[in-house]
Structure 1
Amino acid sequence: MAIFRARDVSQLSDVELVEQVDKLKMELIQYRGKVSAGGAPENPGQIREIRRTIARMKTEQNRRTLA
């Protein structure tokens, strides 16, 4: 999974943004499922970073619709 920074997100097309958000949401569900089943994630900060990346992408989507 690649973490996108704001600069990277702004360079993606609208279709790519939607696809990446969907992928990241599925990955987040998998991580949360692993944690709720009692397992420990390899990287505990990964859930936080995925949430923040999704927020960056949604912010960019919103910025494009308002522009």
Structure 2
Amino acid sequence: MKMREVRKLKYDEQEKRLKELKLELLKERGNVEMGGNVKNPGRIKTIRRDIARLLTIENEREKTNE
């Protein structure tokens, strides 16, 4: 997910996507900890970056609303 795509999302959609990504990250990390097979080892990094992008946009919105 690119910054352009994140900025186009509505606030509710961003919140929903953030929750989905956090849950997915939790599942991926749990799978790694249990010694399971990881289909895509770079997926955790991608999820973390997407979460950071969403949080960045959220913080920008909060600062502009002050």
- Which TM class, normalised by the smaller chain length? over 0.9
Instruction: Return the offset for 1:64.
Output: 0.8
Give ranges in structure 1 of 5+ residues lacking alignment: none
Instruction: Look at both structures and tell me which one has the larger radius of gyration over its CA atoms.
Output: 2
Taking structure 2 as the reference length, the TM-score comes to 0.93
Instruction: Return the offset for 1:40.
Output: 2.6
What is the count of residue pairs matched by the alignment?
A: 64
Give ranges in structure 2 of 5+ residues lacking alignment: none
Taking structure 1 as the reference length, the TM-score comes to 0.92
Q: Which has the higher contact order (CA 8 A, sep 6+)?
A: 1
SS of the residue corresponding to residue 36 of structure 2 reads: coil
Identify the structure with the greater helix proportion: 2
Q: Which runs of 4+ in 1 moved over 6 A?
A: none
